[in-house]
């Protein structure tokens, strides 16, 4: 089985970075609970943490109305059960917006959930990336999209139709045995007043302006094949990490540098199942790995690796359970979505991971 649907980036080039095989324990604690398949997360200008949640899926089906995802991943079913949560500095959760599209894979694959994939702010305005919608996911008239959310009222409006973009702008090398017609969008960042989103199943990065114009930054599949890009970060250029395909290979995930004009070069390798990237003010890169040392997603096998500017890599936290995303907090520590899929409703967590100061 391949692709992200089954689980559902001005330094000198540092070739051949090797990640240590034994992780350090690190210091982390549970910051917040009561989340439903937590995914991307970002601190807002108000100091609260905003979390995208996959939701609980649903049973609505589009049947033969459109092209479906092939078994055993599909057919999908869905309902409006996803949401966006706000976490206070004290770790208290409240709902910002609810009733967003959420879908699940077939029961044969364990009914894995997609919904709201990521969130970010442009100024004081919240934007969200919807990944669980589209006709191939059980929603006849609700597409995968980027939406604008009013954090006071919880109302939202569509900015860009990403399902239509995927249909009308095919990539060079789609993986036919695991093709998601609407895509399975994973991560998004705001840069200079625009939004940049990563689609793993097709393998591309797009730019979306606030007026809804979509353009392709790079078709990753054209040069790299079906590597399942997931995580994106900005550090002068874009840096992109990949999940790769299943079963999980040993140390096969990579990080690429992608220029704004779409030029891609390999930056670092030797990772496993990358689902998050971040940089600190000292040019250190942090890589979130969903599972290390097992052929499939495994609770307790996630970790965070820090790569310093010299290329030295060290694990700063391990023992994470099915993490899906991370972000820096105003305190200089990392906040991680934990138990981000495959867990009972409400079991999702946000972890606070202490970042070493030296």
pLDDT tens-digit profile of 250-269?
A: 889 999 999 999 999 999 99
User: φ, ψ for residue 14 (rounded to 5)?
Assistant: -120, 80
Residues ≥6 apart with Cβ < 8 Å to 314: 20, 24, 305, 306
The string of pLDDT tens digits covering residues 161-215 is 999 999 999 999 999 888 999 999 999 999 999 999 999 999 999 999 999 999 9
The string of pLDDT tens digits covering residues 23-42 is 345 689 999 999 999 999 99
Pair 18, 313: CB distance under 8 Å? yes
Pair 291, 303: CB distance under 8 Å? no
Q: Is the pLDDT of residue 9 over 70?
A: no
pTM of the model: 0.93
User: Is there a cis peptide before residue 75, judged by omega within 30 degrees of 0?
Assistant: yes
Checking DSSP bridges between strand 229-235 and strand 325-328, what pairing results, if any? unpaired
pLDDT recorded at residue 25 = 53
57 φψ region: left (φ > 0), alpha (ψ -120 to 50), beta (else): left
58-66 average pLDDT score: 94
Q: What percent of the chain has pLDDT over 70?
A: 93
Q: Is the pLDDT of residue 20 over 60?
A: no
pLDDT recorded at residue 109 = 82
Checking DSSP bridges between strand 204-209 and strand 194-199, what pairing results, if any? antiparallel
Q: How far apart are CA 235 and CA 156, in angstroms?
A: 30
Q: Is the pLDDT of residue 13 over 60?
A: no
The string of pLDDT tens digits covering residues 102-159 is 999 998 888 899 999 999 999 999 999 999 999 999 999 999 999 999 999 999 999 9
Pair 229, 254: CB distance under 8 Å? no
pLDDT recorded at residue 208 = 98
Two tokens, residue 308: 């310093």
The string of pLDDT tens digits covering residues 295-335 is 999 999 999 999 999 999 999 999 999 999 999 999 999 99
Class of domain 36-286: mainly beta
The string of pLDDT tens digits covering residues 71-90 is 999 999 999 999 999 999 99
């Amino acid at each position: 089985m391949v692709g992200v649907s089954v689980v559902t980036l001005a330094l000198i080039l540092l070739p051949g970075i090797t990640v240590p095989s034994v992780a350090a324990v690190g210091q982390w604690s549970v910051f917040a609970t009561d989340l439903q398949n937590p995914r991307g997360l970002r601190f807002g200008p108000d100091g609260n943490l905003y979390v995208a949640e996959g939701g609980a899926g649903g049973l609505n089906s589009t049947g033969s109305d459109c092209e479906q995802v092939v078994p055993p991943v599909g057919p999908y079913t869905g309902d409006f059960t996803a949401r966006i949560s706000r976490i206070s500095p004290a770790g208290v959760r409240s709902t910002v917006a609810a009733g967003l599209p959420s879908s699940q894979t077939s029961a044969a694959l364990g009914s894995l959930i997609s919904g709201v994939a990521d969130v970010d702010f442009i100024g004081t305005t919240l934007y969200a990336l919807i990944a669980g919608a589209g006709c191939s996911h059980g929603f006849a008239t609700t597409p995968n999209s980027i939406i604008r959310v009013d954090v006071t009222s919880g109302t939202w409006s569509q900015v860009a139709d990403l399902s239509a973009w995927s249909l009308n702008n095919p990539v060079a090398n789609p993986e036919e045995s695991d093709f998601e017609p609407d895509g399975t969008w994973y991560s998004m960042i705001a840069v200079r007043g625009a939004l940049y989103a990563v689609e793993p199943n097709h393998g591309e990065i797009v730019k979306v302006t606030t007026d809804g114009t979509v353009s392709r930054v790079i078709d990753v599949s054209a040069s790299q094949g079906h590597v399942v890009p997931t995580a994106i970060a900005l550090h002068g250029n874009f840096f992109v990490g990949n999940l790769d395909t299943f079963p999980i290979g040993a140390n096969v995930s990579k990080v690429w540098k992608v220029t704004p004009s779409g030029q891609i070069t390999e930056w670092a390798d030797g990772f496993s199942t990358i689902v998050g990237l971040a940089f600190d003010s000292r040019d250190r890169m942090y890589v979130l790995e969903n599972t290390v040392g097992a052929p499939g997603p495994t609770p307790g096998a996630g970790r965070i690796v820090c790569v310093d500017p010299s290329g030295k890599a060290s694990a700063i936290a391990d023992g994470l359970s099915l993490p899906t995303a991370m972000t820096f907090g105003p305190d200089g520590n990392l906040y991680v979505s934990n138990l981000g899929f495959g867990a009972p409703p409400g079991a999702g967590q946000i972890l606070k991971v202490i970042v070493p100061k030296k």
